[in-house]
Structure 1
Amino acid sequence: MLRSSPTDEASPGVTIRIAGLRKNFGAFKALDDVSLEISPGELVCLLGPSGCGKTTLLRCIAGLEQQNRGAIYMGSRDVSNLPPQARDYGIVFQSYALFPNLTVEQNIGYGLAGSARDIVRQRVAAMLELVGLTGSEKKYPGQLSGGQQQRVALARALAPAPSLLLLDEPMSALDAQVREHLCTELRTLQQRLGITTLMVTHNQEEAMLMADRIAVMNQGRIEQYASPQSIYESPETPFVANFVGQGNWLAFEGNGNGHAQVGALQLRLADAVAPRCVGRLFCRPESICVNPRHSEENLFAAQMQDVTFLGNRCRMSFEFDELPGQSLTAEISARQLPPSGTRHIQVALPPHSLQVFA
């Protein structure tokens, strides 16, 4: 278990500011004018698909890649052109990058070279206690599980008491159950230490579970930078809506008075749209009401097509009678599932659940 202790000595969190960062690899634009600010003690996740630039951004901050343009500040220091060892950070790589020929205590103490032997011994002992591996000092990485290796890598990154912690997909090699457990523990430890943290991940569940804010990246740019709740409930671009969570899309044309025409359906919207405005409506599956007990707006007859049981919820596909060929998805609790054999249902799309992308 990761835990805080009186020996925790991480430096106070530092503000990280990225200003107009650009990075090219030949003709490929990996980072395209990226600007970002991370508050002291905040945990920010860079979230996006492979090749979107998130790892390149982390490596530029670490000094492992040199940006073509832009600046990187740690507090008031411009570290844009400093070597990695002058930037005051700890880093945990996707592969953990532990030295296989060194013991656990030697791996953790590696970044403390030059310190007095007693200080190194005390600091290593404190880090082992912090990550719950006291007693594993003499083991080698090959004798540890994946989760234990991740803890050693984290302890090594924290041992010099850096003011910034960089995490490059640190959970990707772990199975789902261990990953969720360590995500929770790592987040708790990060909050107790108050260390500014930047984590790269393509796993949206990790980002939602751990982050204060998420920067969703696409093609070298940040599409949205906001809290996990805002990212999920109020995506600012179609890419963010598609990448984070599940969703339904309906092509519409505005017909005035806060209504939109979707095929033969007329839907009332919470957001006003101009007459003849065209675009798409976005709706999360869990916001759809199936066979509502009370009268709802935008209530229409539908045909249930398929149901997938997901434990504490069910995912149901359906078509509106007046919108044939357009399959939509709703998520409901198992108790809300219509009786077996039912095909004819009533489905409502509440106005507040319909987000307009004009």
Structure 2
Amino acid sequence: MHHAAHLQVHDIHKRFGSFTALDGVSLDIAEGELVCLLGPSGCGKTTLLRCIAGLERQDSGSLHIGPRDISTLPPQARDYGILFQSYALFPNLSVQQNIAYGLAGANRDEARQRVAEMLELVGLAGSEKKFPGQLSGGQQQRVALARALAPSPSLLLLDEPMSALDARVREHLCTELRQLQKRLGITTLMVTHNQDEAMLMADRIAVINQGRVEQYGTPREIYESPATPFVAEFVGQGNWLPFQGRQDGHARVGELSLRLPEAAGGAEQGRLFCRPEAIAIDPQQGDDNRFRAQVREITFLGNRCRLSFELEQLPGHPLLAELDPALLPRLGGADIWVALPSRSLQVFA
């Protein structure tokens, strides 16, 4: 899947006064890949994007697009298109003029032809003469995308491009953008704090926290095998169980003894982590880590149900499970059996 790295970010450091925004970030992005930088606000993801764009200068480290070292080049020499959350269209220019803005040097007929192609591409054919104020937010964002793509850059940079749009438009535009990106085969780096957006769109996700990459992997790797407690907590829902002490493959959680997966790390104390959908409700009798539990709350979420429960031997520590609503009738009351399968437990020291 991964061809040669198209964008290489190597050991980037950036400080603002005494604040360290980027603390040694390295990433390589393959040609045609869509990578999301995901993290809470203030984690450094936008600073990294701005360094790649040449809008900020890193204190140390290097940036390459293909074989070219772009670390110190001015923005206009770096060969990328960029899209910000504020569409940043010129309100007094027509759609045609907005898109043609980046085509300096093309003659008028070429420019007009290219603008028409771009509008076709983003599904706004025939809107050349309109002004941004006559378009919806989603349409303005499409025009901004057309403008970013018009000069045929080899790299597309997206900074929270959907955050100003409402949820339905956003989801629709995400899907469209992803299909377009695949069709054009354009290497894309997108900043977002929205995990659903990252999961939906990315080939790989770099989870960033406090200026460092905590994990870089496919959406599935990040969800199923979080590398750090931060990643586990930031992406998806999860259950945490503090344990004190271990003995022949089991961990002590309060009064309980839980069997751990074969390859669990050797920490003597720490936390166990388990995804809600991994918890088995009404399990077979011989299943490992099978315990009595009390249902506290059931939340209906359409195609699934979320169950809040407490283990009988671990009162005051609510846990979440997710299950198919069709299984609800089988529960038959507040007292149930649950199992926390050992293979789905992760150990964090």
What TM-score does the superposition give when structure 1 sets the normalisation length? 0.94
Q: Where does 1:196-215 land on structure 2 (aligned, <5 Å)?
A: 196-215=187-206
- Give the counterpart letter for 1:23 in structure 2: K
- Look up the match of 1:263: 254
- Relative distance call for 1:78 and 1:275 in structure 2 (3 A) is closer
Q: CA RMSD in A?
A: 1.7
Partner secondary structure for residue 81 of structure 1: coil
My pick for the range that moved more, 47-56 or 131-140, is 131-140
- Look up the match of 2:321: 330
2:70 counterpart of 1:79:
yes
2:163 counterpart of 1:178:
no
Take 1:86 and 1:274, find their aligned partners in 2: how far apart are those partners? 48
- Relative distance call for 1:250 and 1:170 in structure 2 (3 A) is same
2:118 counterpart of 1:127:
yes
Q: For structure 2, which runs of at least 5 residues remain unmatched after alignment?
A: none
- Look up the match of 1:51: 42
Q: Sequence identity, in percent? A: 70
- Relative distance call for 1:51 and 1:275 in structure 2 (3 A) is closer
Q: Shift of the alpha carbon at 1:271?
A: 3.5
2:273 counterpart of 1:278:
no
2:138 counterpart of 1:141:
no
- Cα distance per residue 1:29-86 (max 9 Å; x no partner): 0000111110111100000000000000000000000111111111111111100000
Q: Shift of the alpha carbon at 1:138?
A: 0.7
Q: Which runs of 4+ in 1 moved over 4 A?
A: 272-276, 338-341
Q: Shift of the alpha carbon at 1:291?
A: 1.2
2:181 counterpart of 1:190:
yes
Take 1:96 and 1:141, find their aligned partners in 2: how far apart are those partners? 10
2:226 counterpart of 1:238:
no
- Look up the match of 1:97: 88
My pick for the range that moved more, 286-295 or 193-202, is 286-295
Take 2:246 and 2:61, find their aligned partners in 1: how far apart are those partners? 46
In 1, are the aligned partners of 2:267 and 2:348 still within 8 Å (CA)?
Answer: no
Take 2:37 and 2:308, find their aligned partners in 1: how far apart are those partners? 32
- Give the counterpart letter for 1:190 in structure 2: Q
Q: Where does 1:218-257 land on structure 2 (aligned, <5 Å)?
A: 218-257=209-248
- Relative distance call for 1:20 and 1:274 in structure 2 (3 A) is closer
- Cα distance per residue 1:84-114 (max 9 Å; x no partner): 0000000001101000001111111100022
Partner secondary structure for residue 291 of structure 2: strand
Q: Shift of the alpha carbon at 1:288?
A: 0.5
Q: Shift of the alpha carbon at 1:294?
A: 6.1
- Relative distance call for 1:147 and 1:294 in structure 2 (3 A) is farther
Take 2:239 and 2:9, find their aligned partners in 1: how far apart are those partners? 35
